[in-house]
Each structure stands twice: as structure tokens, then as C-alpha cells.
Chains A and B, each alone.
Chain A
Amino acid sequence: SQKIEQNSEALNIQEGKTATLTCNYTNYSPAYLQWYRQDPGRGPVFLLLIRENEKEKRKERLKVTFDTTLKQSLFHITASQPADSATYLCALDERDSSYKLIFGSGTRLLVRP
């Protein structure tokens, strides 16, 4: 079965630096991969989606890459701000499903002022 691995240790960085979060999967290559942000006490909020035939996707200060050879996606936040502090979840489509997702447990990002 598909497993998603995200670093369980918090990433602690200085404001202004680039944060890079990793999402690794173990089995089949998904058709697409999504990144969500979750704040304490709130539900996840969708950020970006990248398809298997896309190498990179950008949205403002966010950039996602997808390497099917390494079975890995990287999520970058450039010029990070304390307001970017949150937990970031990676999600992959369940095989042959157009609506079911498998979520990683997330990585907490702390941006120090």
C-alpha cells in the first residue's frame, strides 16, 4: 500500500530564509500531489496541486517540485515570514481514484522573527 513520509520533526528557520519541506512516497507514482496548510485548531487549507507530468509549480512565494524518479515532492516557501508558521500536509491520490486522497502526517514549520 502507498505510504507517505514527511519529516515529523519541526523545521525551525529564520525569517527571510527559504523553507523546504519534503514529501516522499513509497509505492506507485500518483497522478497528482497536493499540499495543504493546517493551523492549530483549524482544518487543512489547500495550497497547490502538481500533476505527474509537471516538474514544478509556483504560486506567489510557494514552489512545489515533483520527481517521480526519486518518488519525492519538495515544497518551498521563499522569503519566509512568521505568518507562514503552520503544519504542512502532503496528499496523494489513491490509485485509480479521482477523489480519494492519502495524507501524510505533516511537517510543522516554525519561522522565527
Chain B
Amino acid sequence: NAGVTQTPKFRVLKTGQSMTLLCAQDMNHEYMYWYRQDPGMGLRLIHYSVGEGTTAKGEVPDGYNVSRLKKQNFLLGLESAAPSQTSVYFCASSRAGNRQSLQPQHFGDGTRLSIL
């Protein structure tokens, strides 16, 4: 039972390069999320998806794009990497819920990204 799998685990980029972070979940969850975690700032939501083919912006979406072509996968793209995007990126998923039946989020183990 893999849960949420993120690839790669580590990556070093040069400023201006592009890359895609991959997230896959095997729990048939409807909702998926991308966060970044920086020291002292907690997890901040970048983008999220409430279903296949739909995405929405979170708190800090600038410089990132996402796609959810398949229910189990959620991709995060950096179009032109900047040093400010050096961070640890976490993907999470959850079952669909509502205000009366709220669902916890399940996280992957993160991608550590350094932009030089």
C-alpha cells in the first residue's frame, strides 16, 4: 500500500530551468494538493484539485502550474525556476468530504528542491 508517492525526492536546478514534480496516489482519492514547506512558515497551499481535469489556485500559486489529467496523478510544474522556489514540496490527497464529514489529508514524503 504505497499511499502518496512523490518523485523525484531531491533535485537541484539552475535559475531559469523548468521541471515537473510528480505525485501519484493509489487510494482513489478525489482531492489532491500541492504544498511548499519553508522553515518557520508551515505548509502553504500552492494549487489543489477537487477532481480529474479540475485545478484551482491556493495561497502561493505564482510561478507554478499544475495538471490533473488522471485521477491518481497530480503534476506540479515550475516554468522558470527561481531561488525563491527553493523549498520542500509536499503532495497530499484526501477523500471527498463536506462540513459534516471532514476527511484528513494523506501526505507524500516530499521533494527537496534547490534552485541555484
Contacts and interface: CB of A to CB of B under 8 A. Distances in A.
Interface of A: 4, 8, 31-32, 34, 41-46, 49, 51, 89, 93, 98-101, 103-106
Nearest to A46: B104
Contacts of A46: 104-106
Given A43-B107, A43-B109, A105-B40, A98 B48 contact: no
A43 B90 contact: yes
Nearest to B50: A99
A90 to B, nearest CB: 9
A43 B42 contact: no
A100 B99 contact: no
A105 B36 CA distance: 12
A98 B97 contact: yes
B109 A42 contact: yes
Contact of B99 (A43, A98, A103): A98
B108 interface: yes
Interface string B96-113: 111100111111111000
